[in-house]
Amino acid sequence: MDEVVLIRTMLDNHYQSSEYEIRFEDHEERRPELSPGDVFRLLADDHRRYAVQYFATRTSTVATVDDLATFVDDHADDADRRTIEIELVHTHLPKLAASDVILYDSSTKRVRYVGETFLETCLDWASDRDFD
């Protein structure tokens, strides 16, 4: 079974994150690179930008939804903490997972950052500018 399919199957079956270790040896090689349009769509929302930026500021590639919501709330001015968490769970994390930028286990509310080079380059560029 393909490793990515196996991981997604495990997550779909609500396999507990603490009971297994996700292996990424060749995940990046098999994953198609995101197009510029895909990257810009992902980074268009400031809450998604902050969620990805969270991992750029940490050495760990794993976080909880609570960690991400707190980080986004600390940087965003437009919503309360609870609203941010709801938007992350129902909108932003699924979009990032569909693009293979993260792996998201909704049963444990854990996120594993996989990354994408062009997305990170664009995020660095956007982070250096004030668009508000």
pLDDT over 80 at 25, yes or no: no
Please state the φ and ψ torsions of residue 78, each to the nearest 5 degrees: -100, -5
pLDDT at 97 > cutoff 60: yes
111 has a pLDDT exceeding 90: yes
Confidence (pLDDT) at 31:
60
Q: What residues form DSSP beta bridges with 105?
A: 110
What 3-state DSSP class applies to 20? Answer: coil
Domains, the chain, ranges and CATH? 3-127 (1.10.10)
pLDDT tier at 43, thresholds 50, 70, 90 = very high
Contact 40, 122 (CB under 8 A): yes
- Angle 41-39-63 from CA coordinates, rounded to 5°: 95
Q: How far apart are CA 65 and CA 85, in angstroms?
A: 7
pLDDT over 90 (residue 110): yes
Span 58-62, average pLDDT: 94
pTM check: above 0.75: no
For residue 33, the model assigns a pLDDT of: 83
